[in-house]
Amino acid sequence: MTIHANIQVDLMLDCKGLACPMPIVKTKKAIESVQPGQVVEMQATDRGSIADIQSWARSTGHQYLGTLEEEGVLRHYLRKSSPHEVKQESAYPVTISTEELQVKLAGGEAITVLDVREPAEYAFAHVTGAVSIPLGELANRIGELNGNSPIAVICRTGVRSDMACQLLQAQGFAQVVNVVPGMTGWTGPVEKLN
């Protein structure tokens, strides 16, 4: 057990240099190896991991304790919940492939493409016309979206967009689809920095 900033940690997980979805994948596996009530420190350098870990904790019932940043390393702290506190993790059931979305957009369908990646990811390449609201800001900026219009949510691999779809659905958005496999599979038109 190590102590960092007066926080007792039962397991330290090194996810530095990894991008979504790997920090969450490794955290899911690691949390299974500790006992309820124990604390896992996940170290990451991906700024998107802040929203990812918070959303994952909310969706599973494990307790997100907070994040400290030190010399570019984000130290996320999670407490493993007891079995009666844990939620069954679920995936958003309505998906669309990148190819299907490309056909709909090319056909002129009125669909809002919501990109929930971090601003730097969005800046370097995003679906032409996509709206950028990072996952970590979505709850506070939900009013910027029209709940009566179709929304296709995209991220890099479909993980953050899945969490965003669940959040939107919980807020009454009925026409939401998760774009899979996300930008890693997008071959349609993009806008990017020159």
Collapsed DSSP state (helix, strand, coil) of residue 24: helix
Distance of CA 40 to the CA centre of its chain: 19
- Compute the C-alpha angle 118/80/27, nearest 5°: 40
16 by Cβ neighbours in 10 Å (0-12 / 13-18 / 19+) ranks as middle
Percent of the chain as helix, strand, coil, to the nearest 5? 30, 30, 40
Alpha carbon separation from 91 to 94, 122, 165, 169 (Å, rounded): 9, 24, 9, 12
Beta bridge partners, 114, equal 131, 153
Please confirm, yes or no, whether 20 is among the known catalytic residues.
yes
Distance of CA 5 to the CA centre of its chain: 27
Catalytic residue among 15, 20, 155, 165: 20
- Return the active site residues: 20
